[in-house]
Each structure stands twice: as structure tokens, then as C-alpha cells.
Chain A
Amino acid sequence: MSLWDVFHSDRLELAKGLSAEEVRAGLAAGSIRDDDLVRPAGTSAPWARVAEVAELTAPPSPPPAPPAAPASDDDPSFPVLAEEPAPTPADWDWEDEDDEEEEDEGLEPVDEDDEFEEPAEVEPEVEDASAETPTLVPSPQAVADRELGEDDLDLDRPGPETRVNLPTARSHDYDEPEVVDEEDDEDGGVVSLRRAGPPKVEELDLAAMVDVAFQLVLFFLVTATTILYKTLEIPKPSGEPPPEAVAQGRNRTLDDLQDDFILVEIDPEGKIQIDREPVAADFGALAERLRTAREKTDRKTMLLSADFSTPHRSAVLAYDVANEIGLGIAIAKPVPPAGPPPALRPAAAPKKEGA
């Protein structure tokens, strides 16, 4: 007859030296609960739940526990016994953890012992569980054996399955991010903004385009009437010589005109002479010579006598210089190369060009 120390976890009381029969009687009477802890008296063995000690709960037949139903027919306590051996190690752990938590309140050193020594006690129960589960363990083997024909692929698959499982695990990994992404898409404000974007794009923001269009309209309105062409006004040359000159049968020579006009001659090559003296075809030099001639002789009009084939740009240079110093412009009408000798006649408007 072994004696047991029983710790009433509900009352936090310790009862020492109880015999196994007293413990069983207490269990039957309800003074000792299944959750109470018990250990061999006078030892430092780890505490165990009363329900887990087969000697205390069911001395005659702890083995019949697997067939729980028939065992429960004998004693009223058997149903409790039948239920408790059944739990898997996982359940046992759960209950034990609960016990540890309860014990933490009062007996911390005992908890430490339990933690270290519980596995030693668990082993026999695991063996019991294995004794109960033998029907489970061989069954898959038996199934595998039975379905060899059909399950050759299955049997081969465990290897391939592991191989396949890796990709499937990866596929799960891929799937999970997708799910996360979708969640992110739904939760994130960015995607909601993107989804709100298309309607804006479909509408097209016309404000900027309209602004630019109006600026173009204003530009056209303002510049349409202000596009200016830079020009030089020239005196109107007469198409025909004056009738009186023709009637008199004479034309004025350049020497005659030089008394009234500053004579500027330009040959077909663009060489310029002022009052029969050559001058460099340069704007500054021409302006200086014309200014000097005007001051010396008080002539205020330039008579341009250019050859018919003189480049137009040379004539424009003379016009420009005359405008620079404020001279009036007269143009001698040149005669075409194949025509009769030059019949020069000053133009009618010796006013300042461009006025």
C-alpha cells in the first residue's frame, strides 16, 4: 500500500499520507477532484493530476480504458476515467499547463520541478496513447499496401509530393502576396486614387487647353494688325520724261545736276562715287562723305544715279545712308543697257525718305 500526498488545488490544501483507497474514496465522494495533484508521499516526485494516476483512478482495470464505453458500465467513476485516459498528449499538455498556472499562485518551486520532470511522466502516457493508436498508425500503411496498384503513383508521390509540395508551398507563397496585394489594393489609398483616376482622364482636363487657346486667340488678335514690314519709301519715278524736256530736245547732264544735288553714282559692280570721287561702299564712310558734302555746299538732296544693272542692295544702301543724315532722295532713271544714251531726270520728291 503506497501512500500519497494529495494537494487540493481548489482549496490549496495539502493532505499527506493518504492511501490509494482513501484517494479513490475521496474521488468517489467528490472531496478529491480529478484536477487535484498527487504524488507519492515523502518523495519529491513531480505532482501529477489524480486523474492521470491510473493506480488511484482505476485500480482494477486501467487497461480497459480504450474501450471506454464498456468500462463505464461498471462504475460511475469510470466515465471520468474513460474520458481522461483518452485525451491526446496535446490535451494532456493543455491541462497540465492549466495546472501549472494554478500552481504558480502557491507553489512556484513545485512548478519548476514539474516543468523539468513532466516529460518523464508523459512518456508512459504517450506509450498508452501509442497503445491506443496502434490501430491508427498501421492503418495508413495498410491502406498504402492495399492500394498499391492504384496508389503506386501515390506511393511514389510522397517523394514527388515533397517535390510538388515545395512548388505548392511556393504557390501558396505567391498566392498569399496576391491576397495581401489585393487587400492592400483595397485598403491602400493609392489604388483608390488610381481607380478614381480614369474618370478624370476620360473627361480630359480642358482648363489648361482652353487657357492656351485663349492666349493664342489674344495673340492672333493683337498681332494680326501689328505685323509690320520694314520698308523704305522711295520717290515715285516718272515713267515718261517730262514733255517739255522732250520738246526742248535736251536733257540735263550730271554736271548740271551736281550743282543742286549731291551726286551719288553706283556702277554695276557696286562701286560708289560721291561727286565723282570714289568712296568705300561702307555705311559709315558714305555717311561721313555725304555729311561733309552737305555742310560744304548746303545741298540737302542726294541724286542717286545708278546703273540699270546695279544690284538693288547697293541702291538701298544709298537710300539708308541718306536717311541716316537726313538727306532728301532723288533718283535718276537709268536707261536699259541696250537703250539709247542715258537721259537722266531727277525724281520729283527730294523729301526725306520714309517721312
Chain B
Amino acid sequence: MLLRRDEDEERDEHIDMTPMVDVVFQLMTFMLFSSQMSGGELVDVPPARHGVGVESNAATFLTLLEPKVPGAEPQLLLGHGAGPPATLDQARRAVDQAVKEGIRKVILQADGDVPHGKVLEVAAAVSEVEGVTVHVGVQEEGAEP
């Protein structure tokens, strides 16, 4: 009798939210660590042993995705992984605008299966902007997208 009554009272009156909040925040932390700390996951960029780190807010991102249909042209996107499709001219103008804002680095996140010639086309297009340095995105060896 006592136990039932006490249990009912406790359940009805209050729920301890602290453990749930702790778990939620820990999940958030886990998601932040696992998603944002690896910059190459959105695109299956080639692995490489060497490389330099470029801060995400100090570069203009362009993305070259493998064509979904064999034989089609790779898709050029403005941004990292997801963004509006763009032509070479639009990409050049975006880089030019970024250079005016002081962002002189361009990171080309190209899928590993994208033709090498297409990557160089994009790189050549954005290189027409003065003061630009071009980087291709890579990922740690053994890392999976």
C-alpha cells in the first residue's frame, strides 16, 4: 500500500529532467564532434597523407560532384557539399566577390571519381581572379565519407 501510494505520488508530481538534459547535450556534443570536425565528409574527396588545413571561414568552397548518370557532366556547386549549381562564370564571379571581401583561398571539393580535366577547368576558371590560391580538398587516409 505504502509503496504503491508513494510511487504514484512521485510519478504524478515530478519528473527529474536533469538526466534527460544531460543526455541531450551529450548527444549534441557528439553530433558536433562527429559531423563538423571532419570537413571532407560531405564530398568523397580523395585521401591524401599530406595537406594543409584551411579554415572554413577563410575560403570559398566549390564542389564538384560525380555525375549521377554515367557520361553526364559533373555538377559544379557553390558551397561545400550542398549549394546552388553554378556555371564556370558564376563560380568565377563568386570567387571574385569573395576576394573583394578578403577571402582569397578557393577550396575545390571534388569527388574522387570526377575527371581530372574537369577539376582543372574549374581551377583554371577561378584562377583568372587575381590573388587567388586554389586548393583541392582531401581527407585523411582511411576516413570514410
Residues of chain A whose beta carbon lies under 8 Å from any beta carbon of chain B:
177-178, 181, 184-185, 191, 194, 197-198, 201-202, 204-205, 208-209, 212-213, 216, 219-220, 223, 225-234, 236-239, 266, 283, 306-317, 319-320, 323-324, 331, 333-336, 354
Give the chain B neighbours of A266 by CB distance below 8 A: 116
Question: Among the listed B1, B22, B140, which residue makes an inter-chain contact with A230, where contact means beta carbons less than 8 Å apart?
Answer: B140
Q: Is the CB of B50 within 8 A of A223?
A: no
Give chain B nearest CB distance to A303 CB in angstroms. 14
B51 within 8 A of A: yes
User: If A177-B1, A197-B14, A228-B39 touch, does A308 touch B115 (CB 8 Å cutoff)?
Assistant: yes
Q: A227-B39, A231-B51, A239-B128 are in contact. List 15 more A-B contacts (CB 8 A).
A: A178-B1, A194-B10, A202-B14, A228-B39, A228-B55, A231-B53, A231-B135, A232-B50, A236-B127, A306-B116, A309-B117, A310-B116, A312-B114, A313-B113, A334-B117
Q: Is the CB of A209 within 8 A of B21?
A: yes
Give the chain B neighbours of A309 by CB distance below 8 A: 115-117
Question: Among the listed B25, B36, B49, B119, which residue makes an inter-chain contact with A324, where contact means beta carbons less than 8 Å apart?
Answer: B49
Give the chain B neighbours of A236 by CB distance below 8 A: 123-124, 127, 132-134
B120 within 8 A of A: yes
Complex CA distance for A19 and B56, rounded to whole angstroms: 130
Complex CA distance for A204 and B17, rounded to whole angstroms: 8
Q: Is the CB of B2 within 8 A of A181?
A: yes
Complex CA distance for A334 and B52, rounded to whole angstroms: 26
Chain B: which residue is nearest A308 at the CB level? B117
Give chain B nearest CB distance to A277 CB in angstroms. 21
User: If A239-B127, A312-B114, A320-B50 touch, does A230 touch B138 (CB 8 Å cutoff)?
Assistant: yes
Residue of B48, B111, B128, B139 with most chain A CB atoms under a 10 A cut-off: B48
Question: Among the listed A178, A232, A310, A334, which residue makes an inter-chain contact with B51, where contact means beta carbons less than 8 Å apart?
Answer: A232
Contact sample, A vs B, 23 pairs, CB 8 Å cutoff? A191-B6, A194-B6, A194-B9, A198-B13, A208-B22, A209-B21, A209-B25, A225-B57, A228-B56, A229-B109, A230-B51, A230-B53, A231-B136, A236-B124, A238-B124, A308-B115, A308-B116, A308-B118, A312-B136, A315-B116, A317-B48, A320-B49, A333-B124
Complex CA distance for A209 and B128, rounded to whole angstroms: 51
Chain B 71-118 interface residues, beta-carbon cutoff 8 Å to A: 107, 109-118
Q: Is the CB of A312 within 8 A of B115?
A: yes
B18 within 8 A of A: yes
Question: Among the listed B40, B59, B113, B139, which residue makes an inter-chain contact with A311, where contact means beta carbons less than 8 Å apart?
Answer: B113
Question: Among the listed A177, A216, A312, which residue makes an inter-chain contact with B110, where contact means beta carbons less than 8 Å apart?
Answer: A312
Give chain A nearest CB distance to B132 CB in angstroms. 7
Give the chain B neighbours of A239 by CB distance below 8 A: 124-125, 127-128
B69 within 8 A of A: no
Q: Is the CB of B116 within 8 A of A307?
A: yes
Q: Is the CB of A230 within 8 A of B114?
A: no
Complex CA distance for A76 and B18, rounded to whole angstroms: 88
Chain B: which residue is nearest A233 at the CB level? B135
Q: Is the CB of A311 within 8 A of B112?
A: yes
User: If A229-B59, A234-B123, A319-B48 touch, does A336 touch B117 (CB 8 Å cutoff)?
Assistant: yes
Complex CA distance for A48 and B134, rounded to whole angstroms: 128
Give chain A nearest CB distance to B115 CB in angstroms. 5
Chain A: which residue is nearest B129 at the CB level? A236
Query: Residues 1-17 of chain B: 1 if any A CB is under 8 Å from the residue's CB, otherwise 0?
Result: 11000100110011111
Complex CA distance for A261 and B103, rounded to whole angstroms: 33
Q: Is the CB of B55 within 8 A of A225?
A: yes
Question: Among the listed B16, B47, B53, which residue makes an inter-chain contact with A228, where contact means beta carbons less than 8 Å apart?
Answer: B53
